[in-house]
């Protein structure tokens, strides 16, 4: 996007990470072979070393917005940053 639209104004709307994880958990339940509680899902994800996309990875990683935003913002010049505090 940065190469094609260098002057773009980007709006980012972030969801509460816990709510996002719970919504993903509910989706996982709809296709899971072995249902589990949300707590079990979180505990299993925290203990997992998987790096292949699946029920446990990157279940919690999607909520680490700071990592994702730093990578994204690194593609756009800082002078275009007009963040509004919320």
Buried b (16+ CB within 10 A) or exposed e, 14-32: eeeeeeebeebbeebeeee
Q: Which residues, other chains included, contact 18 with Cβ-Cβ below 8 Å and sequence gap of 6+?
A: 63
d(CA 71, CA 6): 16
State yes or no: pLDDT of 82 exceeds 70. no
More confident residue, 41 or 76: 41
pTM of the model: 0.71
State yes or no: pLDDT of 83 exceeds 80. no
Q: Up-side HSE of residue 58: CA atoms within 13 Å toward CB?
A: 8
What would the mean pLDDT of 15-43 be, rounded to a whole number?
92
């Amino acid at each position: 996007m940065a190469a094609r639209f260098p002057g773009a104004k980007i709006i980012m709307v972030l969801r509460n990470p816990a709510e996002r994880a719970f919504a993903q958990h509910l989706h996982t339940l709809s296709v899971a072979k072995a249902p589990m509680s949300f707590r079990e899902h979180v505990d299993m994800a925290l203990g997992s070393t998987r790096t292949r996309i699946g029920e446990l990875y990157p279940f919690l990683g999607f909520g680490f917005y700071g990592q994702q935003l730093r990578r994204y913002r690194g593609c756009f010049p800082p002078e275009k940053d007009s963040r509004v505090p919320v």
